[in-house]
Chains A and B, each alone.
Chain A
Amino acid sequence: MSAPAPPAHADPRLASVMAARPAGLTDDSEGMAYLERLPRRLVTTYLPLLIILAVLLFPFYWMALTAIKPDEQLIDMEHYNPFWVVEPTFKHINKLLFETQYPRWLWNTMYVSVAATLLSLFASVLAAYACVRVRFNGAGWVGAAIFLAYLVPPSILFIPLATIIQAYGLFDSPIALILAYPTILIPFSTWLLMGYFKTIPYELEECALMDGASRWQILTKIILPLAFPGLISAGIFSLTLCWNEFIYALTFLSSTQNKTVPIAVVSEFVDGDVYKWGSLMAGALLGSLPLVILYSFFVEYYVSALTGAVKE
């Protein structure tokens, strides 16, 4: 098995380290952190961190501010301090929710993302399991091929894919996206899950085999429950990618009611040559919220899953 499937290496040093520790996230600090005094830490750690966080967060502050700013304050920077808002208005948000099809777009995005994620998880679990445990002839090569598929970006594929989608009669249908997105999701999910599956001891499986369990039973009853954190993070990652996807949705969808949030926001808040900045920003903000909330719950899972995949 000489195929260089990316995660298929085991660095003995890493492996030994990992074996000593659970896959979950532990709060480890660098060894000599206790040597640092507070003022020093302030300058070397907190200050840079604060600056980076400020830069990372500023656009969101700006979005939120614009979303509740009355229009006249938006373009009048002489009388109003642009960093703040007087008499905030919910007009834009109200308009967004009740006078456009925003809820519908949000629903489309969720529907497409969840469906594509489930489909990819299903395929990835099977593929990862097959590559790691079934170990058919050429499993290593197949694993590598799947990984390579991750390196084929949508910007190369959208033109031919558009002609194919048309030929399949899927144009302007969410199904087109549900089928196209897994091409982006499966490779990464498979890679992540392969890492997870490898950590599950062989013995468990062999015992089950001896007891006459089928492959399918082993997968669903033993492997999947153990790999649950991996599934979650692959799922979250996939959901993010779907939510974020732009070029396929831009090319394959056409009618207003079928659009996803990213596409709708850029096209629907423009009346010819008038940009509705308030609603645009409110739409951008609301469109990001579900994911932000999801992540704030699962970030630790995510890091630990990556750790799991990385340590392989």
Chain B
Amino acid sequence: MAHTALTQPAPLAVPTRSAWHRLRASRGWAGFWFMLPTALILGLFLAYPLLKGIWLSFTNTRIGREGTFIGLENYAWLWDDDVFWLSVFNTCLYTAVASVVKFAVGLYLALLLNKNMPFKSIVRSIVLIPFVVPTVLSAIAFWWIFDSQFSIISWSLRHLGIIDGNIDFLGEPSMARACVIFANIWRGVPFIAITLLAGLQTVSPSLYEAATLDGASNWQIFSRITLPLLTPIIAVVMTFSVLFTFTDFQLIWAMTRGGPVNATHLMATLSYQRGILSGTLGEGAAIATAMVPFLLAAIGISWFGLQRRAWQSGGTDR
């Protein structure tokens, strides 16, 4: 990506007056050496595959066979492929709903956790557990919880006399969507809450005290002090959240494999289904590449958030 800047050789260091000066002269090289491991890893396993993926999407490569360049054909087929558009719709819906709820619940939880209470650190550790446990393992637990015959939720509701038959959690398209979104929220809230909590801790209590003395209401304190001060961290954490939700794979794969009738197929799972299982690597790569514009948009929004942050702090940095 950006290692062109690194390779500019610094002017040869001549023995100079001060250590500081010598250092300035050798900066380019020092920087180069320090950046080398990162540049190698990111170059070989991130930048190169990214470009290669884009290239693959223009070929008809299959697993086990080299492909030839076929231009935009893969994209043309995707363009009027209902399943693909369904997966785009699902992905957007999944991302939008899950992110908004995760943010709301996460912020609420962070505010709760920021209060003074006994066993604070234990509570915090507990909150983090869903984030710590490998997604696919908790997804399996959810799959079992949402089973069509042996769901504990159905059982409970049945025994409470609320419903008659079992709820078809993962078999009915909108229900299945709701279930996977719920699982995603469950998994994502802790990270957001803990990160926002970290942000909240940077807010000085004296600000709150001053505001309270001035007679500000709780809501005013929240909207005028807490929220603005949190905005930058919110921007960062939500960018992550949106991005990872958008590109989610394992939760869906473990719970529904894209079913029922593709109602929960995300772009990532469809890409795996077509690219690896059906063996059409080119097409799978095209679906993956189609995610890029969305990701760029997310990055753009985050960028905007950060700019706003710079603007808030009254100017450019440094």
Contact = CB atoms under 8 A, between A and B. Distances in A.
Given A52-B105, A246-B250, A160 B126 contact: no
Give the dominant DSSP class at B's interface. Answer: helix
Interface centre among B31, B114, B123 (most CB of A within 10 A): B31
Contacts of B48: 164
B170 interface: no
B19 A210 contact: yes
A81 B317 CA distance: 62
Contact of B250 (A152, A247, A304): A247
Given A127-B38, A303-B201, A164 B145 contact: no
Contacts of A160: 49-50, 52-53, 55-56, 285
A125 B87 CA distance: 39
Contacts of A66: 144
A57 B126 contact: yes
A243 B131 CA distance: 11
Interface string A82-109: 1100000000000000000000000000
B68 interface: no
Given A17-B202, A190-B38, A209-B23, A141 B136 contact: no
B126 A134 contact: no
Contacts of A311: 202
Interface residues of A, number: 124
State the majority secondary structure of interface residues on A: helix
A208 to B, nearest CB: 9
User: Which of B6, B135, B229 is the most central at the interface, judged by chain A CB atoms within 10 Å of its CB?
Assistant: B6
B1 interface: yes
A295 B198 contact: no
B313 A12 contact: yes
A161 B307 CA distance: 33
A149 B271 contact: no
B113 to A, nearest CB: 8
A2 B201 CA distance: 28
A26 B197 CA distance: 12
Interface stretch (B72-80, B95-103, B172-180, B204-212): B204-212
A288 B134 contact: yes
Interface string A13-28: 1100110100001111
Contact of A142 (B5, B150, B248, B271): B5
Task: Pick from B42, B121, B207 the residue with the most CB of A within 10 Å.
Answer: B42
Interface string A131-164: 0001111110110111011111111111111111
Contacts of A173: none
Given A6-B236, A82-B152, A284-B141, A141 B5 contact: yes
A48 interface: yes
Contacts, number: 367
Interface string B41-54: 11011101110110
A204 interface: no
Given A31-B207, A135-B31, A295-B129, 14 more contacts: A41-B115, A49-B113, A59-B186, A134-B31, A154-B249, A160-B56, A209-B19, A240-B131, A244-B134, A247-B250, A265-B140, A288-B134, A300-B121, A302-B194
Which 9 pairs across A and B sit closest by C-beta, in order of nearness? A136-B31, A138-B5, A31-B208, A29-B116, A130-B34, A155-B268, A284-B137, A306-B198, A153-B247
Interface of B: 1-3, 5-6, 8, 10, 19-20, 23, 27-28, 30-38, 41-42, 44-46, 48-50, 52-53, 55-56, 61, 105, 108-109, 112-117, 120-121, 123-138, 140-142, 144-145, 149-150, 152, 155, 186, 189-190, 194-195, 197-199, 201-209, 211-212, 229, 232-233, 236, 239-240, 243-244, 246-250, 253-254, 267-268, 271-272, 275-276, 281, 284-285, 288-289, 291-292, 295, 298-299, 303, 306-307, 309-310, 312-314, 316-318
11 contacts: A4-B306, A63-B141, A120-B41, A142-B2, A155-B268, A247-B250, A262-B135, A281-B144, A299-B128, A303-B197, A306-B195
